[in-house]
Chain A
Amino acid sequence: MKMEDMPLSGPDNTKLESLVHDIYSELVEDACLGLCFEVHRAVKQGYFFLDETDQESMKEFEIVDQPGVDIFGQVYNQWKNKECECPNCKRLIAASRFAPHLEKCLGMGRNSSRIANRRLASNNNMSKSESDQEDNDDLNDNDWSYGAEKKAKKRKSDKNQNSPRRSKSMKHKNGELGTIVTSEPYKYNFNTGISYETLGPDEVRSLLTTQCGVISEHTKKMCTRPTLPDADPVVENDGFDIPDGQTLMSRLQWEDSSDISPTDSASSKASTNPSDSRRPKKKKRPSLGLNSGGGGGGGGGSSSLTGGSSSSQSNISLSTKKKRPKLSAPSIPSIYDDLN
């Protein structure tokens, strides 16, 4: 029986309303009774007046209803316009900006070291200082670049000295690269780029005996992967499509290379033949080995090269460069030109 379904005609309507009203008042009386029971029980149990303490406390915590103040009586933007003095730089900073300022000022926040390093890097690049190579070696990736602008951000030598990461990375990489680094007291800056043309022959030789030295065309970085004297030629050959990697190595062998014994023996044997046959395929590789042949001599099996000074390096570098023949082609020939 739904109340609203009742027909709302005249007499019925009043009946209905009175009915409704009656039912309603019954319900209200029930609610009142319920409330009375509740209150009475609270009184008898003693918890009815619990929320009313003494008059003093009541006054103290009265609800405040003034403009500009919250119900506790506190002012909303009380500290908005205050200025705090930074203990570090002794400047007056606005309160809302105080915490970020401290972060930067003390150099302890998440971003503060990043920003500071970037700033220092750009400053250093301007002044063209040549930093300590050891730092660069330890903290760089395996690549270092030509362009100073590009790699300014990666300069880690000037990072926050107290940064925990610094000590971690130093410890970690010292084992790997420490030996190599100490043997190469170069003056050039790893980060600002290297050009083989600017280095002298001795420097190039010592550089290439210990590191890969391949300069990527895309990123203009030189690969600083440490080379292992005899292991690489064999390893690298596996990746070749040339059946006879050894002969290739020998083809490019310099006469007075004493470091690489396996290839030495082969050098005299396969001097001209393989080179010719492989010229179409390996245009660029021969150019690596050529220099005395007069300029980037694309073709020739110039295994019998006389510019022996850089032979050993070229062998090593070649072996490790086999995976990137094209990349080394443009730059290397010019280098060897200079050597001649």
Chain B
Amino acid sequence: MKAAVNQKLTEMGERDRLKELLRAKLTECGWKDQMKAHCKEVIKQKGLEHVTVEDLVVEITPKGRGTDHCCLTSALITAPGRPPSTSR
């Protein structure tokens, strides 16, 4: 069922819309800057020259997931202006 939902979302373009919306909200609430600061620390730790994408991802993602999402979840769900969709 989850696959079906995902597929539907993608088809309708809702997924992309949600993604953009999420990005905007994260930036707005400062999540992005927080993450960036964390990145800086990681980079300073690891050294500027040898940082790889994988390193960053490994460091950032759990932290990113851990910081407060709950409000964002509901905000995303009840986001205004959601276009009407066909029933499942």
Chain A residues in the interface with B (C-beta under 8 A): 1-5, 19-25, 27-37, 39-40, 43, 48-49
Known: A1-B87, A2-B82. A24 touches B57 (CB 8 A): no
Complex CA distance for A32 and B84, rounded to whole angstroms: 29
With a cutoff of 8 Å between Cβ atoms, the chain A residues found around residue B9 in the complex are 1, 23
Pick the 5 closest A-B CB pairs, nearest first: A36-B56, A32-B64, A1-B88, A39-B39, A40-B53
| Contact of A28 with B65 in the complex, beta carbons under 8 Å | yes
With a cutoff of 8 Å between Cβ atoms, the chain A residues found around residue B36 in the complex are 35, 39
Nearest to B4 among chain A residues (CB) is A1
| Contact of A25 with B65 in the complex, beta carbons under 8 Å | yes
Known: A23-B5, A31-B22, A32-B64. A1 touches B53 (CB 8 A): no
Shortest Cβ gap from A277 to chain B (Å): 93
Would you list 6 pairs from A and B whose C-beta atoms are within 8 A, ordered by A residue? A1-B86, A2-B85, A23-B6, A28-B64, A40-B56, A43-B48
**Interface class of chain B by DSSP:** helix
B12, B40, B76: the one contacting A24 at CB < 8 Å is B76
| Contact of A32 with B2 in the complex, beta carbons under 8 Å | no
Q: What 1/0 flags go to B14-39 for Cβ under 8 Å of A? A: 01001100110010000010011001
| Contact of B43 with A48 in the complex, beta carbons under 8 Å | yes
| Contact of B57 with A43 in the complex, beta carbons under 8 Å | no
Q: Quick check: is B45 within 8 A (CB to CB) of the other chain?
A: no
| Contact of B61 with A30 in the complex, beta carbons under 8 Å | no
Complex CA distance for A23 and B77, rounded to whole angstroms: 11
With a cutoff of 8 Å between Cβ atoms, the chain A residues found around residue B73 in the complex are 20-21, 24
| Contact of A36 with B60 in the complex, beta carbons under 8 Å | yes
| Contact of B53 with A28 in the complex, beta carbons under 8 Å | no
Q: What 1/0 flags go to B50-62 for Cβ under 8 Å of A? A: 0111001100110
Known: A24-B73, A31-B22, A35-B36. A19 touches B65 (CB 8 A): no
| Contact of A35 with B35 in the complex, beta carbons under 8 Å | yes
With a cutoff of 8 Å between Cβ atoms, the chain A residues found around residue B60 in the complex are 32, 35-36
| Contact of B84 with A2 in the complex, beta carbons under 8 Å | yes
Complex CA distance for A21 and B56, rounded to whole angstroms: 24
Other contacts beyond A27-B22, A27-B76, A48-B43: 19, CB < 8 A: A1-B9, A1-B12, A1-B85, A1-B86, A2-B85, A4-B77, A20-B77, A22-B2, A23-B5, A23-B18, A27-B18, A28-B64, A29-B65, A35-B32, A35-B60, A36-B39, A36-B56, A39-B43, A43-B51
| Contact of A3 with B77 in the complex, beta carbons under 8 Å | yes
Shortest Cβ gap from B43 to chain A (Å): 6
With a cutoff of 8 Å between Cβ atoms, the chain B residues found around residue A31 in the complex are 19, 22-23, 26, 64
With a cutoff of 8 Å between Cβ atoms, the chain B residues found around residue A19 in the complex are 1-2, 5
With a cutoff of 8 Å between Cβ atoms, the chain B residues found around residue A33 in the complex are 57, 61
With a cutoff of 8 Å between Cβ atoms, the chain B residues found around residue A37 in the complex are 53
Shortest Cβ gap from B51 to chain A (Å): 5
Complex CA distance for A23 and B57, rounded to whole angstroms: 19
